[in-house]
Amino acid sequence: MQTATPGTTTRSGVEMFRNISSAEGSAGLYRGIKPLWFRQIPYTIVKFVAFEKIVQAFYTNIFTAEKSSYSKGT
């Protein structure tokens, strides 16, 4: 829909869903999911690990009391 030349496809998402599923089958609806996963999964892993390391560094170096002594807002 976004990259098609104007006037060649419908602007309705429901109609486009029907066109893709009838022309390519249900596999056509998931055609772009592998590139998305190859980008999103490593990003999410790095983000989670970095967040946990940063929190650990904060509680080691900045907040010197026991972690359970702080409120959730800290």
Question: Which of 21, 43, 38 has its CA nearest to residue 30?
Answer: 21
Task: Give the model's pLDDT for residue 40.
Answer: 96
> pLDDT tens string for the chain (74 positions)?
567 777 777 778 898 889 888 999 988 888 889 999 999 999 999 999 999 999 889 888 888 787 778 777 65
Q: Residue 29 has what pLDDT?
A: 84
DSSP 3-state of 61: helix
For the chain, the domains span 1-31, 33-74
Q: What is the C-alpha separation between 11 and 41, in angstroms, rounded?
A: 31
- The Cα–Cα gap between 1 and 3 comes to 6
Predicted pLDDT of residue 37: 94
Global pTM reads 0.56
pLDDT reported for residue 73: 66
DSSP three-state, residue 66: coil
Q: Helix, strand, or coil here: 24?
A: helix
